[in-house]
């Protein structure tokens, strides 16, 4: 890079208007990316609706047609992960949940797809997960006060909700909050 008053500066080609606009756009893009990352971290730490107490029971169908009843999973910790293939924050968070599920076979991780089964199946064919995915129902959404995606709920072996988060997960949060 040349100094503005150096002899090389006089010989440097002036930037075209396209180059100036491209440089300005890159600067704005970097700034917006930083702001978005900070916003995601703040929102993640802030959480959202905090639900506690006994986990509402439900029965839902897996993408391959089997029924799963939450109460049948008592005796083991459970993580409910409300997600959708169209959700950009879910696409960032899902690999974290997947790594957690793969590394903790003693914890049942259930993805709950906020979309129709065909869309979820298509997405999972291209992006396989190590946890089961259920088809979401309005009743499950209401029982767990899901207002945004992703939403994550941790349930202990006794069926009590011990932690919940609406928004992006930081990589260590499931490790920290799952019994």
Across the beta sheet with 151-155, the strand order is 53-54, 160-166, 151-155, 78-83, 108-113, 132-135
Q: Give me the residue label for tokens 């089961």.
A: 132
CA angle 154, 159, 165 (to 5 degrees): 20
pTM of the predicted protein model: 0.75
d(CA 141, CA 47): 17
CA nearest 150: which of 76, 98, 108, 93? 93
The pLDDT assigned to 41 comes to 66
Which residue numbers in the chain have pLDDT < 50? none
Contacts for 162 with CB less than 8 Å, ≥ 6 apart: 52, 154, 155, 156, 177, 179
The pLDDT assigned to 7 comes to 57
Q: Give me the residue label for tokens 């391959």.
A: 64
d(CA 23, CA 136): 45
Structure tokens at 121: 């199946």
């Amino acid at each position: 890079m040349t100094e503005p008053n150096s002899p090389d500066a006089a010989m440097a080609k002036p930037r075209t208007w396209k180059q100036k606009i491209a440089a300005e756009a890159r600067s704005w893009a970097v700034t917006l990316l930083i702001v978005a990352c900070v916003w995601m971290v703040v929102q993640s730490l802030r959480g959202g609706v905090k639900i506690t107490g006994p986990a509402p029971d439900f029965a839902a169908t897996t993408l391959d047609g089997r029924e799963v009843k939450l109460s049948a999973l008592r005796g083991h910790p459970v993580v409910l992960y409300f997600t959708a293939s169209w959700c950009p924050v879910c696409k960032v968070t899902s690999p974290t949940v997947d790594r957690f599920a793969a590394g903790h076979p003693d914890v049942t991780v259930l993805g709950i797809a906020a979309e129709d089964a065909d869309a979820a199946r298509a997405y999972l064919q291209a992006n396989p997960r190590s946890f089961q995915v259920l088809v979401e129902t309005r009743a499950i959404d209401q029982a767990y006060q899901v207002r945004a995606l992703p939403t994550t709920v941790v349930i202990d072996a006794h069926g009590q909700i011990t932690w919940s988060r609406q928004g992006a997960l930081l990589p260590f949060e499931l490790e920290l909050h799952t019994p």
